Structure formats: structure tokens, C-alpha cells
Structure 1
Amino acid sequence: MSQAIPPMLRMLNLLTLPGARSRKDPGAAFDKLVAQAERGYRPLGAEDLAAVEPLRLLLRAHAANPGLSPFGWATVQEAIRNRLRNRVIIRDVQARHPEVREQPVVAPVFVTGLPRTGTTFTYNLIARSPGNRGPLLWEMLNLGLPVEDPAERARIAERTAKRISFVDRLSPDWSQIHPLIATSEEEDFFLRDHSELHTTASAVPEYRRYLAGADLTDDYLLLREALQVMSFGQEPPRWVLKHPGNLWRMPEILRAFPDAQVVWTHRAPGKALASGCSMSESMRNMHYKPGAVDLEAIGAEWLTMLSEGVDRALAQREQLDEGVLVDVSYNDLVEEPVKVMRGVFDHLGMTWTEADDANLATAQDRPHHKGHKYTLERYGLDELQVAAAFAGYKIPSALS
């Protein structure tokens, strides 16, 4: 069943139609994005220009997608321009304040796992514990040195909230799938160049082939530099990060953050897979021409992406030093959240306090998105296919 196109999306496709001509020359379009990102800042040097070439490949892959709408083309360009702007701002701050490179980033925690496995719940509890923090969405979308004035922070957050509110008007389901809250912790995806989840909005097989063999250490070094900029001159927090694609990038994470620890949340993968497909369907309804969204293609893409990612993660975990990784079972987390989270805190060298009891109570009171329904069958999948694809994945449990 096709989704009705919101009137605002129809209007945006008409308004962005003239700009869609730039798809004919994605190389020139990318050069323009670089120039726009550099406007008002120092231009990127040769090393950085070489480092962003895979983003040129990503734009070329989007341009080659025949289903992408004019608005979709404008949106994927904006996402790439934002990544370029992050790098430009980081280099500008480093040039003006060379000492920012010495800002400590100590023992960060990466919370990761497949979608709908309890990552957000776990992430929020760790990030909101005293002495820790996760990057807020408004900070990542307005990267720069810390804003000390509370009133100015509130103004920037309000502007950011207005900027992202249109997503709910374009996709009635989005607030149920992944609500974007300007003042809340969000995924480090917004601070890095690359992730398989760039494929959520648009099928980009050329880019996915690149990622399959890519070493993303530079991407995580860029993340480290962004965190240094965001906390420059402040008492260094223990940063807590989250993104599903981090799961199969543990070697690159540890090269950029040698003292990092990883929390891996687990759940039967069928639920995660169906949720990811639903998210991609919603995004593609915003980015594709009417009738161009292929649900079975989404199912095939996500089955491959998540199963291959988990296989990589299982192989990588065997190479980790003792103490780097701690497992969290979703079922255990639901059954005994205090026991599970106290165990996670112990593993991370953290002390559970009354503040964490309060954070847990708040997290448990958070409304559940019961309106978001999804099934494997909608995307041409079934439990037997999922079981075969994830045959090597056994869910650990800490509870007896």
C-alpha cells in the first residue's frame, strides 16, 4: 500500500525541481558543496580534500539512483554539506586554538547494537550519569566551541528544534520511529562522514561496496576532534556515544580511542531488522518519487547489511582485550534493569548513585512508541530467512 504524499512534500519537490539539474554532473555539484562549506572559513588543505573524496562517491551514488526525487536530491546534498562543514569548522578552530588538540577525551563509551535492542535506554542512562555526557543534537548540528551563555544555548536549541520539526510534517510516522529532540543526546552519526545508514534514505550500492572494504579510522579521528572542540576549555566529561553502525567498526574506534569501552546490546534480530526496514521505508517515502519505493528491495538491503555487520562484529570481538566489551541482553534489561545497569556500570568503572536511580525511573516512564508497527513480511522477509542469515549470532544473557 503506497503512502499518501503530504502536501508540503509535493510543494518541496516543485520548489527543488530546478536544482535537480545538478544531478547530471555530481562531481561539479560536490565541488560546489565544498565551496559552500568553506564559505567564511579557512579552505580545507590537500590532506582533508583527499579525505572527503568518499563523500564525492556517496553523492555520485545518490545521483545515480533513478528513484530519488528533486527534494531527495536536495536533502542528500545538505547532509553531505553538513559533513563537509563539520570538518571545515574543526580545522578552523584548530588553526585559531592549536591547544584544542590537547583537550582530553578519556575512556569514551560506545553504546551500540542493532536497532530496537535497548541501545537508547542504555545510552541515556550511561550518558546522563554524573561526570558523563553524550553530544546533544543541537550541538552537533551547530558544531563549534562550547556556548557558555545559557540563554544563547537555549536560543540555538530552539532554532534547531524549528529546523528539524518539518520532518514530522513530511513523515507522520517519523516521530514514532526516531523522534528528533534538539536538547537530547543523539547519535554520533551527525559528527562523522560515513555510515551504512546513509543508505536509509536512498539506495546507494556503489557507496555500500566502498564501505565494505573501507578503513574508517579517519572518520573516528574526526569524531575525536569534534568532541575536543565541543568540550574545549571545560572539565573533560566521559563522552558516551551511540550509533548502530559502530557495532562493526570496533577496530577503527579503538585506533582513534585506544581506551574506549563498548557496550553491545542484544535482542533477537528479527525485530531489529523489521524496525530498520520500517525506518528506511519512511525515509524513502520522503526522498523518492511517488511509487518508486521498493519494499522488498529494502528488506534485501537491510538483511544483508545487518547480518554481515553482525558477522563482522562477532569476528572483531574475538580480537578485543579483556574488559573492552560488555554485553547487555534486551530481555535481561527489561526483566531486571537495575541489576543489569549496575553490572554495566561496574564493568565501566562507574559508581551507581541516587542520580542514576532517578535517571532510571525517568527512562522507564518514557512513553513507548506503540503506534510504530512493522513486520518482516511487509519487506518480503520471514523468520526462517532471518535465522539463516544470523545463524552464528547467539544472544548472551547475564541472568541465570
Structure 2
Amino acid sequence: MGSMTFMSQATPPMLRMLNVLLLPGARTRQDPDAAFEKLLAEAQRGHRPLGAKDLAAVEPLRLLLRAHAANPHLSAFGWTTVQGGIRDRLRNRTIVRDIQAKHPEVKEQPITAPVFVIGLPRTGTTFTYNLIARSPGSRGPLLWEMLNLGLPVQDPAERRRIAERTTKRLSFMDRLSPDWSQVHPLIATSEEEDFFLRDHSEMHTTSSTVPEYRRYLEGADLTDDFVLLREALQVMSFGQEPRRWILKHPANLWRIPEILRAFPDARFVWTHRAPGKALASGCSMSEVLRNMHYKPGTVDLEAIGAEWLAMLSEGVDRALTQRDQLDDGVLVDVSYSDLVEEPAKVMRGVFDSLGMAWTETDDANLAAAQDRPHHKGHKYTLERYGLDEFQVAAAFAGYRLPSVLS
């Protein structure tokens, strides 16, 4: 693109202090392979070591760390944070393997006909996801469960303690960036995206530009990643009465074949909306995260726009090709405009397509969702990121929005 547009925003005092305190530790980015080995050792501490197959499977996370280390704009806090994210994913795999070794029967825990709510950001995915996940007989993974992966906690008091501890941990983000709670509020006791249980996603590029990792994902088969998700869900529900798992993450949209290899009986609900809103929202989220993770004055807004335009348009093109290979009834379409106009009618239709009964509980959940306050502070435009509607229309030329309300 042409001239770069940099974001200049006052850095919160706490973030400035953290960057100073963490500066000595940032020297480890000079040797990202050594840093990765240290993260791997930390993740396995107190658990059975990973076997050769798993060690090979986590190598792309090493690539991700190298890509972050190569970004000259990443701050000391940013480097610390991306390492923490990779450590969490290494720990997830280690915990799953450790539990499988101690309780081999966990591999028999049924995961039947899970539903993946797919769609670009700001297309009604969260609204749709929450209604399906909170229906009797269904469930979505709660954020505190994913951030503290392990066998189900039976004691209600202990569950509350873990959730409260997780809430305190998450509140740190709000203190570092007042804008974050307007973009994607993280609620420990609420359903969240399966991103927290898996290794890979294009969304790793949100907080830092990592072109080498993006190139890896373009040709990667992430079946192993979704098998790991299945195994984590088995751990989280082990010994409990089976409920239908409901899952969501934007980048799942263009991973339908890999999902079906890991979950052969999976169903999909694809929410649709004109992509300009989704694109601007994703750019805004990336801007807020990069303000936290980058050195002051180095956030390039036009670069964010170019990255997200390519990522979402290429992803949608892949998803359109993939959906053509699906059997009838595997995927349900939801129009955002229909969902806004007649949410009860649309969602009853979705439930019927999924073989789910609509109950009084679902009526109550719908009323509660409609009453939920919206985050009006999150405002975004395409133009802020060097984009316009003509570019968006050209990039998404093959995407035709369905209207399924009848």
C-alpha cells in the first residue's frame, strides 16, 4: 500500500512500567529457539513428558514464536504475552496426555454431533452461539475451564474459587487497555471460543504481524489441532452425563474439512452479514491489541487493514469451496438481517435443523440475550485502516449473502 498510517496513543502508566520492568527478559527474543525450549520445559513440569509424536506436532508453535521474535515493533510486554500464549498451548497438550495416561477410559468419553457456529466477526455468531450452547442438553466450554484445563471440578465452592481467580487474572487486561472490554470482553464464567484449547489460528496474528506463520497456515492441515480439541473436550466432560458440545471461533469458518476429520458427525451454523462490518471490527480489535503489544507509535493502521482484508476474503473463498463438498443437512445458514428482524423465528428454525427442541428455557435465554447491553464504545470504520467499500466488494466478489427467512 502507499504511505503508512501509524497509531499514536498515550500508553497507560501501568503498561509503561511493565515494559520497563520486563525489558531485561526481552533479550530472550534474540534466541527464540532457546526461549521455546524453556517454555516447553515449563509446560511439562510436573507432568509426563510429551512423546515424539506430540513434540513433532508442537513444532509449528516454535515457528510462531520465531515469527513474533522477528517483529521489531513488539514491546517487552508483547514478547512476554506471546510467550505466555504459547506456553498455555503447550501446557494444554501436556495436561491432556497426562490425564489420558492416568485415565485411559477418558478417550471413550462421547463427543456426539457437536455444533460449530462459524462466520465472520460481528455477524451474530456470539448471539447464535450462546443461545444454542445454553439450551438444555447443550453446553459450550466456559472460559475459566479452558484456562484451567483438567478433569471436571466436582465441588461447587472450588469451581467458584477457580472462576473468581480467573476473573482477577482477566481484569488485568482491562487495566492495561480500557478499550479492550469494549472490543471483546472476557468473562470467566461465560462460554468462549475454542481458540483457547487449540494450538493454531490465524487470530494469532491479531496482536502482532507474523507473516512466516501466516504462510505456514495457508498450506497447513490442522486436523491434529481439532483432534486435540476433541481430546480436551473429553477431559473437560469426563464422567459427566454427555451434553452436546457447541463451539465457536471465526477462523473455524475455513477449516471445515479438518473439523470433520476430527468430528465426523459435526454440524455447522454459518452466520452471514455484509463483510465490511466484520472487516472493520477485526481491524479495530487488532489495533487495540497492538497498542498493548507494540512499542509506542509503531502500530501501522493500513498494514492492519491489508492483513485483515487478505485473511478474511481468502478465508471466505476457501469456506465457499469447502461447503460445496458437504452433504445436505450438515450446514445451516443464518442471515444476520433475518436474525435481527425475527430472532425467535430464525433460532427456532436453527434448532429444528439441528434436531433440537425449543423450550421455555430457550425463550428465557432469548429474552435475556436481547436485553443484554451493547458495548457502544467500540466504534470502527474501514477508512481508518486504509480501506473502502469498493475494495471490500472486490475482495469478496464471490460471496453472496443468503436470506433464509421464510
Q: Identify the TM-score tier after normalising by the shorter chain.
A: over 0.9
Q: Cα offset for 1:332?
A: 0.2
2:233 corresponds in structure 1 to 227
1:335 corresponds in structure 2 to 341
Tell me if 1:209 matches 2:212. Answer: no
Tell me if 1:144 matches 2:129. Answer: no
1:105 corresponds in structure 2 to 111
Tell me if 1:157 matches 2:163. Answer: yes
Alpha-carbon distance in structure 2 between the residues aligned to 1:214 and 1:23: 25
Q: Cα offset for 1:371?
A: 1.1
Q: Cα offset for 1:241?
A: 0.3
Q: Which runs of 5+ in 2 are unaligned?
A: 1-6
2:129 corresponds in structure 1 to 123
The equivalent position to 1:271 in structure 2, one of 277, 287, 304, is: 277
The equivalent position to 1:315 in structure 2, one of 314, 321, 324, is: 321
Instruction: Give deviations 1:12-40, integer Å, cap 9, x for gaps.
Output: 10111011000010001000000000011
Alpha-carbon distance in structure 2 between the residues aligned to 1:7 and 1:112: 38
Q: Cα offset for 1:112?
A: 1.1
Alpha-carbon distance in structure 1 between the residues aligned to 2:34 and 2:18: 23
| Matched residue SS, 1:265 | strand
Q: Cα offset for 1:280?
A: 0.1
Q: Cα offset for 1:236?
A: 1.0
Q: Provide the identity percentage.
A: 85
The equivalent position to 1:394 in structure 2, one of 386, 394, 400, is: 400
Q: Cα offset for 1:167?
A: 0.5
| Matched residue SS, 1:346 | helix
Q: Cα offset for 1:207?
A: 0.1
Alpha-carbon distance in structure 2 between the residues aligned to 1:176 and 1:394: 30
Correspondence 1:237-256 to 2 at 5 A: 237-256=243-262
1:194 corresponds in structure 2 to 200
Tell me if 1:236 matches 2:242. Answer: yes
Q: Cα offset for 1:321?
A: 0.9
2:66 corresponds in structure 1 to 60
| Matched residue SS, 2:247 | strand
Correspondence 1:51-90 to 2 at 5 A: 51-90=57-96
| Matched residue SS, 1:62 | helix
Tell me if 1:172 matches 2:178. Answer: yes
In the alignment, residue 3 of structure 1 is paired with which amino acid?
Answer: Q
Correspondence 1:341-360 to 2 at 5 A: 341-360=347-366
Alpha-carbon distance in structure 2 between the residues aligned to 1:320 and 1:244: 19
Alpha-carbon distance in structure 2 between the residues aligned to 1:160 and 1:3: 29
The equivalent position to 1:281 in structure 2, one of 287, 290, 296, is: 287
Instruction: Give deviations 1:186-212, integer Å, cap 9, x for gaps.
Output: 000000000000000000000000000
Alpha-carbon distance in structure 2 between the residues aligned to 1:41 and 1:215: 28
Alpha-carbon distance in structure 1 between the residues aligned to 2:355 and 2:53: 38
Q: Cα offset for 1:2?
A: 1.6
In the alignment, residue 148 of structure 2 is paired with which amino acid?
Answer: N
Instruction: Give deviations 1:297-319, integer Å, cap 9, x for gaps.
Output: 00000000000000000000000
1:305 corresponds in structure 2 to 311
| Matched residue SS, 1:240 | strand
In the alignment, residue 285 of structure 1 is paired with which amino acid?
Answer: N
Q: Cα offset for 1:169?
A: 1.1
Alpha-carbon distance in structure 2 between the residues aligned to 1:54 and 1:87: 14
In the alignment, residue 335 of structure 1 is paired with which amino acid?
Answer: E
Q: Cα offset for 1:243?
A: 0.2
Q: Which runs of 5+ in 1 are unaligned?
A: none
Tell me if 1:37 matches 2:61. Answer: no
In the alignment, residue 300 of structure 1 is paired with which amino acid?
Answer: A
Alpha-carbon distance in structure 2 between the residues aligned to 1:72 and 1:292: 13
In the alignment, residue 38 of structure 2 is paired with which amino acid?
Answer: K
Q: Cα offset for 1:398?
A: 1.0
Alpha-carbon distance in structure 1 between the residues aligned to 2:287 and 2:70: 19
2:29 corresponds in structure 1 to 23
Alpha-carbon distance in structure 2 between the residues aligned to 1:129 and 1:85: 31
1:181 corresponds in structure 2 to 187
In the alignment, residue 258 of structure 2 is paired with which amino acid?
Answer: E
Tell me if 1:325 matches 2:334. Answer: no
Alpha-carbon distance in structure 2 between the residues aligned to 1:19 and 1:221: 34
| Matched residue SS, 2:270 | strand
| Matched residue SS, 1:320 | coil
Q: Cα offset for 1:170?
A: 1.0
Alpha-carbon distance in structure 1 between the residues aligned to 2:200 and 2:355: 30
Instruction: Give deviations 1:133-154, integer Å, cap 9, x for gaps.
Output: 0000000000000000000000
2:19 corresponds in structure 1 to 13
Q: Cα offset for 1:172?
A: 1.0
| Matched residue SS, 1:369 | coil
Instruction: Give deviations 1:176-233, integer Å, cap 9, x for gaps.
Output: 1100000000000000000000000000000000000000000000000000000000
Instruction: Give deviations 1:341-376, integer Å, cap 9, x for gaps.
Output: 000000100000000000000000111111110000
Structural RMSD (CA): 0.5
Aligned length: 400
Alpha-carbon distance in structure 2 between the residues aligned to 1:229 and 1:165: 27
1:96 corresponds in structure 2 to 102
Tell me if 1:293 matches 2:299. Answer: yes
Moved more, 187-196 or 364-373: 364-373
